Amino acid sequence: MARPKKDDTRDTRRDILDRSLELFATHGFTGSSMRDIARAVGVRESALYHHFPNKNAILTTVLGESGPGALNAMMTGDLVRIIEAMGPQQFLRTMGEAVVALWATERERHLMRLIMAESPRLKQAGLFDVQKQIQSVRARIGEVFTKLAERGLIRQVDPDAAVLRFMGPMLLIRVIHLADLNVTPDMAALRDDLSRHLDSFWLTVRPEAPPSGRRRRA
């Protein structure tokens, strides 16, 4: 009775991490007790301590394994080359769809909520620094815009301002449509806002019409 027969379909450690993320995201870190986690996983509290030394270690692991995320991976590729290949407008659409698909996953929504709620704690623990993260993405996109402008793929704009104009509405859209875990996201409305943003953004950066008066094709 002390140890149940092995059920191959389950992995307690994995379950602890998954249930914990869920609980932390919905009730906060301090709002979720080891008892709550144990109940959600279906074991006793003491079993949790076999896998993790304490509650903090669970949080650390949950966030550690989520790492910088798929988004950062995307940002590390040679974006300029890709954009050159597929054309900036097409790239915007493709990237927009990819980002939304990622952000709309349950896991990303939970992570976002956890980070919104616990960012001071996470920063203090050296686990995640929202501001730094944003600034780094901002710098990265800024470089891309600079290079795109050099190559004439977009018009000559202040890259800093363009990045604010690009990222700001993305954040807003994410907050509006995906931050409330108690509401099933309205994906149609989300995509609508997203393409409204991307189209409108494109108009502000697309190369000027050639001085000859001949418009290039939209």
Partner DNA sequence: ATTATCTATAGATCTATAGATAATGC
- Choose the contact partner of 2 out of its own copies, DNA, none; CB within 5 to 8 A by kind: DNA
Q: Which amino acid is at 85?
A: A
Q: Which two tokens stand for residue 80?
A: 């300029």
Report the C-alpha gap between 218 and 206 in whole angstroms.
Answer: 9
Report the C-alpha gap between 113 and 100 in whole angstroms.
Answer: 16
Q: What's the min distance (Å) between Cβ of 121 and its own copies? A: 8
* Interaction of residue 61 with DNA, rule CB under 7 A: no
Q: What's the min distance (Å) between Cβ of 106 and DNA? A: 24
Q: Which stretch binds DNA (CB under 7 A): 3-11, 107-115, 136-144, 207-215?
A: 3-11
Radius of gyration of the chain (CA): 22
- Choose the contact partner of 173 out of DNA, its own copies, none; CB within 5 to 8 A by kind: its own copies
Which is it for the CA torsion 48, 52, 53, 58, positive or negative?
negative
Tell me if 189 sits within 8 A of 175, measured CB to CB.
no
Interface residues with its own copies (CB under 8 A) are: 26-31, 113, 116-120, 123-124, 130-131, 134-135, 157-158, 160-162, 164-165, 167-173, 175-176, 179-183, 193, 196-197, 199-201, 203-204
Report the C-alpha gap between 59 and 62 in whole angstroms.
Answer: 5
- CA 86 to centroid of chain Cα atoms: 24
* Interaction of residue 112 with DNA, rule CB under 7 A: no
Among 18, 26, 40, 47, binds DNA (CB under 7 A): 47
Binding site for DNA (CB under 7 A): 1-6, 12, 33-36, 42-47, 49-51, 53-56
